[in-house]
Structure formats: C-alpha cells, structure tokens
Amino acid sequence: MSTTTLTAPKEQSCTLLASGHTACTGCGEALAAKLVLGAAGSDIIVTDATGCLEVFTTRFPQSSWEVPFIHSLFENSAAVASGVEVALKALGRQNEAKVIAQGGDGGTADIGLQALSGMLERGHDILYVCYDNEAYMNTGVQRSGLTPFDCMTTTSPCGELSWGNKHNKKDMPSIAAAHGIPYVATASVAFPKDIENKVKKALSITGPKYMQIHSPCPLGWRSNPQLTIKVAKLAVQTGLYPIFEMENGKVTKVRKVTTPKTPVEEYLKIQGRFAHLFKSPKGKEEIQKIQEIADRNVEKYGLA
Amino acid sequence: MSTTFIEGSIAVAKTVGVCRPHVISAYPITPQTHIVEHLSELVADGEIKAEYVNVESEHSAASVVLGSSATGARTYTATTSQGFLLMIEVLFNIAGMRLPVVMTCVNRAVSAPINIWNDQQDSLTARDSGWIQLYAEDNQEASDMHLQAFKIAENKDIMLPVMVCMDGFVLTHSFDPVELISQEQADKFLPPFKPEYYLTPKNPLTLGTMVGPDGYMETRYFIEKTMHASLQVISDVAADFHNQFGRFQGGLIDTYKVEDATLVLVAMGSIIGTIKDIVDELRAKGQKVGVLKVRSYRPFPKDEIYKALSHVKEIGVVEKAVSLGYGGILVNEIKSVFYGKPKTPKINGFILGLGGRDITADTIHQVIKETVKAASEEKFVGLNEALIGGK
C-alpha cells in the first residue's frame, strides 16, 4: 500500500483542503469542498467519486486533503462510504469519525445513482454531498442528468435543430428524500455561511443525509472566473436553483428570491453556455420557457 | 477431528465465519446464494460478529468491502458469472489499492446465452486483475482455502486480494464429508488483521490518488513483484496449514501419480477428482498416467510445473474456459512453461464442460486417447454433433 498512500503536509496549510491544488481559477467546486470540510472539522473520513475534485486535489505525489480521504471509482463513492461506515461500527471505532461521501453531479445523479440509492435505503450514518456544476466538467463539459434545460454542452450543442439540452434537470433532492431519509438540503457557494450551517446540522443528525451544492464551473459555463459568486447568487435569486431544507420528507426552510423578482435573463446572459439563446428572436421563446421553470420553482417551494 | 456431511456452500460459509470477518457484503446470484445466505444467518444468530451489508449490486458489494478494508476491517464477498463481470471494475481497483479482500468466485458460465451452470470463464476473465486466484478441487479444499486465503492476503509483504474459485453446483451444491474448522483452530492459524495503513483521522492518508505517467507503471511493477513473492507465501501457508491440521491439498500445484508418468493431464478445479479416478483405472491396466492440479493460477507457478512435468512425454491440458479467437487459456500458459527448455513434450489442449456440459469418465478417456494420438493441437470435446451440423 505504500505506493498509493501519502500524507498531506499539515503545517503548511490552515484549512482542511490545502491550497496549492490544481483547480481552475474561480472553481466553485473547490470552494464548496473547502467550506464543507471547514464546517465538518477534522474528525471525518471522506470518500470521493472520480471527477474534477479528485483530480485537482490528489495528483500523486501530492494531496490537498488534511483529512483521511479515499477515491475509488466514478460510480461507487456512496458504496465505499457505506463500507467505511460499517467498518468503523464493526471495529468499535464509530465515535472516531463522521463519514462524508462526495461526488459531482454525474457521479451522483447518473452513474452513481444506484449506489447512492442503496446507501440511502440502508440507513447508513453518512452525509452525501453532491457538488453540482451541471455537467461532466472533468471530461470536457458533456451533458449530465443535472444539466439544465437549453444549456449548451459539448454533447448537447445548439444547432439548426437544437437549443442545447432537451431535458429538464433531474430532481435529485426529491429522489433522495423519497428514500425516507431525515435530511435533504440544497445550498450554493454564493452563501458560504448557509453551507456551513447545513453541514453542521446534517452531521448532528444520525442516518443518511443528502446535500446538493450549486457550484459554478467558469470553464464549462463559460462565465468570468471573477463572477463565480455572482453567477451562483443569480441562480438562487431567479428561482432557478431553489435553496431549501427537507426534514423527514417535508420542506422546512427556504431561501426567498428577490422582490421584485430577478428575470432569468440576468442569470443566463453572463454565461456562454446560454449565449445561443440571445442570438435570434426565437431564443426569446426559449428564455420564456426557462423563466417558467424558475416560476414553477418559486411556487413549488414558496420562494416568493 | 470430526467430519460433517455438509453442502459445499455451507462448509465455506462456516469457514469464512471462523475467520472473524468484520464486514461481509454480497448480492445474490445463483449458484453463490447458499454461501451468503448461510453467512447472513450466522450474523443474524449472533454466531459471528460481523456487519452484513445487503447491497443493490455486485459493483456495490465489492465497493463496500473495498471501503471497509481500507478502514482496517477484514472483509469478505462472494459472487459468480454476471455478478463477477459487474464487479470486475472494482476488482482491479481493490488490487491496485493493495487491499487484502477475500472473495469466493463460484465458477459459472457467462452470458449470452444465459446459462447458470459451471465452467470457469468468469474468474479467468479477471486473470490480469492483480488478484491471487486459487482453484479448489473439492469441498474440503474449498473450505480450507478460505482460511489460508486470509493469511496469504494479509501477509504484510503481500497485501493483495485473494479469490478462492470453486465450481458452481459441482462443489457448491454437493454434499461431502468435510472436516470443519473450529473457532479455536482458526484463531490459532490466523492472527487478527492489523494493517499498517488504514483510514483514520489519527493519521489522515490519501488513498486512491491520481497517478500520471510518472508513477503508474511502478504500481504495476510492485504488484507483479509481489505476485512473484506470493508464490513462496502460498506454499508456506499451505505448509503451515498441513502442520496444524494434517491435511495438504497442495501448495501452488498438486500432483497425483506424476512422478513416473509418461502422460499427464493438467487441470484446475473439481474436474481433478474425476481425472484421478480415471488415472487409477488406467494405472491398474499398466498405463503410466497422472494428473497435475494447478491450485494457484495467479501467481502462475511456472517453475513448479516445469519441475513436476519435465520428464513427461505427453501433456493434455483440460479446461473449462476459452479465449475466443485464440483457443485454450491454460494450455497456452502450460506451453509457455516449456519455452526455451531442452525438451518439449507434446502438449494438447481440450476445451470441455462449458456451460455445465457433463464431464464423464468417457470424456476423460477420450481426452487421454487424443493426447496420445494427436500432434499438438486444441479441440472442443463433447460437442453435440446434432447442434453443429452433424459433422
């Protein structure tokens, strides 16, 4: 095992996700992961799915993780975390660490959904965190099940016959909640304190917890890296990314949208992945459809 | 020591139980089911203190034991056929991460067409995965091999996963007298699992890093080197077992009446028993035949096989798997044993018993006749002529 293990240089960093990793400038996921770890503290064991986070933090022989970390494969972060959790129990070490499983949107909602469902159904005491940047960014911005409607990716390009992604974003929080788990929450890197509060609350609850954090990817979204927080904030303020908590299947808390409401154009126009919607008169109709998605979210979750 | 008349699967489950696994995870698939059912019963009855994790797929079963093993737990899983293929991605990962997981591969044919009966195509498909592969001849050996498997896997100089392969139905579902291993005996043989590295906040390690062209090759080099080192460890553990229990089913290989034989059949798994009967029959008629059992397929014991067979004139390799587009798998490796040696015997390969096709005494007699008669070649034995156009 000595060839595949290494320790992070503790004294050189002040956070649990050490700086010096290779994430892109303005990476929302790096910020989200740092906030999650900061709130969770050092007595944790984390698993991670294959993806940007694992790649930019663990390039041998370096590691940014100041906490015990294991990456195995793309689709099994939840199952590996299940193994970690039961092992701690079997070894009488359950008070030693909380278990946090991590994955991107593809590793969570697509290829990893089955393993995640198993983890949620079995009642493991694990917090699963999905860093949602709405496409397969690590492989070059391909469409995932959490890519939003009409979004352009490298496998849902716009063209004569296409406005981009044909499908609506999969409602992953509801899928998680349908397992009867005690806690589901969405969050956004635009609201760091909210992330920290939710991680702390989740870890205070025994059983499976699911958190989905909206994490802009400037490279894939073709947005200005300086505007990561602004982009993320607009997704919430327009109602396109509803922020809420669900406890035992019921929505118990939401973050209100702005009044008067911010039109979705404000969010869409600063991202290249939606630029095609602004290039022809017909694009207006598509933007209207996206506005309707936001409006439905506002109504569904009571965000107004 | 008392002998129990017991089903192979139950004997294996009981042995796994006395190995004190911390975590067992499995997904049901025929004909592996009786093993994991019995283990779940042992856990439910409090006879073994383990966490039994019911998962939604074999991929997750392997992933759960991977996570548990990395956390410092002794772990076990079992599967077969399609389940094995679904696990393969994780199996490579477990070996690459040097986690000493033990699993049973109940050998079964691979789809399509779907077929639940025995051959060895499943485990042979993962021969390059970095798992040590041991093949059991009978239920006593299958049972005993599991105790040995944990000791081999957890050896500090090895730290590789071990797969015990046993023929589906032929062994798993047959009743045999088996000397079961008691808890006391198991504890004497197998020390507690104390890995040097595992996931704990007390010493935060990063496992499963991304390794580029500057370091990946070395990980393979180390596994290959360890595989060679494990040849000795497998022999030593078999000898230790012999010392404590008085039973010896071979270390890397086993031979039966090979010393003065001119013709030897080479095989793996339960077919060895059938061949031994034929060997006895032909010996009674004065024919100098024998059989060599490849017990450890990975690592492949080239030197031991050469030493055992260097005097032999004719070799028939009998196998229940095929590398489509090449032919026999084991025969290829047996041929390679003799490459560059002063004398090369005639080596014939026989593919038989695929998808549970019956292997009878007549089948083995036919194989021996062909081995004597033919020049080196490979052929399917026991084909249904009506289905292949009555040639």
ipTM: 0.96
For residue B357, the model assigns a pLDDT of: 97
Sign of the C-alpha dihedral computed for residues A13, A15, A20 and A25 taken in this order: negative
C-alpha to C-alpha distance for B292 and B44, rounded to whole angstroms: 41
Are residues B376 and B236 both part of a single domain?
no
Contacts of B211 in chain A (CB under 8 A): 4, 60
**A127 burial level (CB within 10 Å; 0-12, 13-18, 19+):** buried
Are residues B182 and B274 both part of a single domain?
no
CB contact under 8 A, B206 and A63: yes
Q: Widest CA span of chain B, in angstroms?
A: 70
C-alpha to C-alpha distance for A143 and A146, rounded to whole angstroms: 8
For residue B1, the model assigns a pLDDT of: 60
Are residues B288 and B225 both part of a single domain?
no
For residue A261, the model assigns a pLDDT of: 87
Are residues B281 and B365 both part of a single domain?
yes
**Range B207-223 average pLDDT:** 97
Give the end of a domain, one of B245, B276, B296: B245
Residues B270-316 have pLDDT tens digits of: 999 999 999 999 999 999 999 999 999 999 999 999 999 999 999 99
Tokens linked to A299: 């109504």
Are residues B319 and B341 both part of a single domain?
yes
Report chain B's mean pLDDT, rounded to a whole number: 96
C-alpha to C-alpha distance for B353 and A6, rounded to whole angstroms: 48
Neighbours of A107 (CB within 10 A): 31
Please compute, for residue A262, the number of CA atoms within 13 A of its CA located in the half-sphere on the CB side: 20
Contact B195, B164 (CB under 8 A): no
Residues 69-88 of B with CB under 8 A from A: 69-73, 75
> Residue B113, preceding bond cis, omega within 30 degrees?
yes
Which residue do the tokens 């014939």 mark? B348
The CATH code belonging to domain A2-301 is 3.40.50.970
C-alpha to C-alpha distance for A108 and A110, rounded to whole angstroms: 6
For residue A13, the model assigns a pLDDT of: 41
Contact B358, B387 (CB under 8 A): no
Are residues B241 and B264 both part of a single domain?
no
Q: Which of A71, A87, A115 sits opposite B23 (nearest CB)?
A: A87
C-alpha to C-alpha distance for A117 and A124, rounded to whole angstroms: 11
Contact A245, A253 (CB under 8 A): yes
CB contact under 8 A, B64 and A86: yes
- Asked if the C-beta of A11 comes within 8 angstroms of chain B's C-beta atoms, the answer is no
Are residues B226 and B317 both part of a single domain?
no
CB contact under 8 A, B205 and A47: no
Substitution target in A2, A5, A100 with the highest count of B β-carbons within 10 Å is: A5
Tokens linked to A278: 């602004």
Residues 111-170 of A with CB under 8 A from B: 114-115, 117-118, 121-122
| Strand-by-strand arrangement of the A69-71 sheet | A5-7, B205-207, A69-71, A44-48, A98-104, A126-132, A209-214, A183-188, A244-247, A250-254
For residue B373, the model assigns a pLDDT of: 80
- Asked if the C-beta of A84 comes within 8 angstroms of chain B's C-beta atoms, the answer is yes
Q: What CA–CA distances, in Å, run from B358 to B59, B117, B274, B352?
A: 31, 10, 11, 9
> CA of A66: which chain B residue's CA is closest?
B204
Give the end of a domain, one of B192, B221, B245: B245
Report which secondary-structure segment, H or E, holds A50: none
For residue A7, the model assigns a pLDDT of: 52
C-alpha to C-alpha distance for B264 and B255, rounded to whole angstroms: 10
Q: Residue A48: helix, strand or coil by DSSP?
A: strand
CB contact under 8 A, A69 and B206: yes
A113-122 helix and A77-90 helix, angle to the nearest 10 degrees: 30
The total number of structural domains that make up chain B: 2
Q: Residue A171: helix, strand or coil by DSSP?
A: coil
Pure H helices in A137-253:
172-177, 192-204, 218-221, 228-237
Residue B391 — very low, low, confident or very high, per pLDDT cuts 50/70/90?
low
Query: φ, ψ for residue B210 (rounded to 5)?
Result: -85, 125
Residues A67-93 have pLDDT tens digits of: 999 999 999 999 999 999 999 999 999
Contacts of B93 in chain A (CB under 8 A): 72-73
Substitution target in B39, B64, B89, B203 with the highest count of A β-carbons within 10 Å is: B64
Are residues B125 and B143 both part of a single domain?
yes
Residues B99-117 have pLDDT tens digits of: 999 999 999 999 999 999 9
Are residues B122 and B98 both part of a single domain?
yes
Q: Which of A5, A44, A81 sits opposite B197 (nearest CB)?
A: A5
- What is the residue range of B273's domain? 253-388
Least confident stretch, A77-91, B13-27, B211-225, B362-376: B362-376
C-alpha to C-alpha distance for A211 and A208, rounded to whole angstroms: 10
CB contact under 8 A, A83 and B66: yes
Give the end of a domain, one of B219, B245, B271: B245
Closest alpha carbon to B230 in B301, B180, B172: B301
CB contact under 8 A, B67 and A68: no
The ranges of chain A with pLDDT < 70 are: 1-14
- Asked if the C-beta of B68 comes within 8 angstroms of chain A's C-beta atoms, the answer is yes
Are residues B124 and B206 both part of a single domain?
yes
Query: φ, ψ for residue A153 (rounded to 5)?
Result: -130, 180
Q: Which of A72, A88, A93 sits opposite B208 (nearest CB)?
A: A72
Neighbours of B15 (CB within 10 A): 23
Q: Residue A155: helix, strand or coil by DSSP?
A: coil
Closest alpha carbon to A28 in A220, A264, A296: A220
CB contact under 8 A, A44 and B201: yes
C-alpha to C-alpha distance for A300 and A290, rounded to whole angstroms: 15
Concatenated DSSP letters of B71-133? TT--EEEEEEHHHHHHHHHHHHHHHHTT---EEEEEE---SSSP--S--SHHHHTTTTSS-EE
CATH number, domain with residue B47 = 3.40.50.970
For residue A287, the model assigns a pLDDT of: 98
